[in-house]
Amino acid sequence: MIVTAQPEATEAGACVLMRGGNAVDAAMAAALVQGVVDPQMCGIAGFGTCQIYDPYRNLHRTIDFHGRTPLAAREDMWAELLEGEVRIGFGFILKGRVNDIGYQSIATPGSLLAYYEAAEQFGTWDWKDICAPAIEQARQGFRVRPHVQRWWTHGAEEGQVDNIERLAFSETGRSIYFRPDGGLKKIGDRVENPDLANTLERIARHGAAIFYSGEIAEEMTADIQTNGGLLSIEDLRAYRTVHSDPARGSYRGYDIFTSNPPGGGLQLIEMLNILENFDLASLGHNTTQYIRILCEAMKAATVDKDKFIADPLFVEIPEFLTDKNYAAAIANGIREGRRITVPRLTRPEARDTTQVCVVDGDGMCVSMTHSNGMPSGVIVPGLGFMLNGCMGVFDPRPGNPGSIAPGKSRFSAMCPTIVFDNGEPCIVIGAPGGTQISMGVMQAILNVLDFDMTMSEAVSAPRFSATSDAIDIANRIPNYTMEPLIKEGYAVTRSASSYTIAGVHGISRRNGRLCGGADPGLDGMALEV
């Protein structure tokens, strides 16, 4: 089974599985297609994290491919430009928006190297064959889907650059995303990008080396340097992914394997540790008290994330964050009515991310979350892909865990996760959704484990989040459920969307049967083959 947020990517991965490829082959083929049909959400110049479990090789690894600050970056280079912080965290607003759009917002990308390494080390197919579906898709183009168009037309929030500005920033963007009359393309319009097809063909022939030290690296960095960017060819040549064991926790006897820092896995483990102290099933799903307890756990984990979690190469991560006794103490405070405050300067990480989950016939599992962050808008002439905008989330204030430093990765809430029951995987899950990713993944896991939902039901249920002092809720949560909390002084922000708070996608296995769930708020689907 394969689940992604784009039908084209799901179908591409399913075809790989049907032709004998394993879960990694399918996941990487799907990921490359995702970068073609959802080019602001992800792509070869993005970043992310991937978890791979292979029972036959007794292998369980994560590949972290977070973006890294260029070596020319300095801790205080933007300190005097600071204007504010987004309400729900994980992003800063600077004068001139230099961290949010344009050439200075680009960090060293990791996605293509991770796709290539995963395929070479854990896949069974030839790299050229894995690239072939994306090349074909790029040659034929794609039709604008509702979720793509919705993101394109989503206005700027809390000081962020408007998405239409990102699409129109480069000459290529203006030519492929807009109609001849200058209007933005609409649902059903075809987007054709032959430059991207040509680039993918070059990558299929030469592997990742052409991107990190060869001709594409030279073309990319020449344009960036000419236009005042920080990224250099030395950054690309020095880039390395991080292969490691997954972070590990537990919840009611289930083993939780998830992403390491600077990913959001420790946040997920901390929240589950706190919630293990409550009988959630007896409270009832999405009842007033259930929402209050989960939101306080979310706020506690958010405060700890802001204080302690960053790139472990630069910051020492305290072990107590995943300690059960530490979580129990927080749970006791919540039980006694404690209300946790999340300090903020006055912007969420953009939800410009996507997800792929795969389980193959041999039990191999892959969960990968990858992203362009807040995309920079930069498309190097002739190359066809938009570069990431990772720099927008770094703290411009020196001396903090998330501050800028040369070669540093910033925190991301990405937490591709695999849950085991008695040594066998029972949930493969992950989500896009910026700072709210771990909140959405956590709720879907609870829906399966505490409320016995299928994965389809679990990802479709309305969600909420608290990464600030306000509670953000989907529009399908009734007002009468929230009114008691409002009376207690909680601020509640209701989304206009019925589906919000991360786009969770996952696969569950129960009684030998697979169930796939694609968040109905996006355009994706699950296919069993």
Pull the structure tokens for residue 321.
């964050």
Q: What is the DSSP string of 338-395?
A: ----------PPP--EEEEEEE-TT--EEEEEEE-BS----B-TTT--BPPBGGGGSB
Q: Which residue has the tokens 């299929």?
A: 204
| Nearest C-alpha neighbor of 441 from the set 522, 390, 367, 509 | 367
Beta strand extents in 187-268 (DSSP E only): 190-191, 242-244, 247-251, 254-258
Please state whether 525 falls in left (phi above 0), alpha (psi between -120 and 50) or beta.
beta
| Nearest C-alpha neighbor of 112 from the set 50, 189, 182, 52 | 50
Please state whether 108 falls in left (phi above 0), alpha (psi between -120 and 50) or beta.
beta
Pull the structure tokens for residue 36.
């073609």
101 CB contacts (<8 Å, ≥6 apart)? 161, 165, 166, 169, 374, 376, 377, 389
Please give the backbone phi and psi of residue 505, each rounded to the nearest 5 degrees, phi first. Answer: -130, 140
| Nearest C-alpha neighbor of 337 from the set 489, 445, 522 | 489
DSSP code for 469:
S
Distance between CA atoms of 47 and 66, rounded to whole angstroms?
Answer: 5
Distance between CA atoms of 475 and 486, rounded to whole angstroms?
Answer: 16
182 CB contacts (<8 Å, ≥6 apart)? none
Contact 417, 356 (CB under 8 A): no
Residue type, 311: D
- The active-site residue out of 172, 353, 354, 500 is 353
Pull the structure tokens for residue 77.
């280079």
Residue 128: CB atoms within 10 Å: 13
> What's the length of the chain?
529
Q: What is the DSSP string of 267-321?
A: HHHHHHHHHTTS-HHHH-TT-HHHHHHHHHHHHHHHHHHHHH-S-TTTSPPPGGG
Contact 99, 84 (CB under 8 A): no
Residue type, 229: G
Contact 33, 130 (CB under 8 A): no
Contact 12, 33 (CB under 8 A): yes
Active-site annotation holds for 353: yes
Active site residues: 353
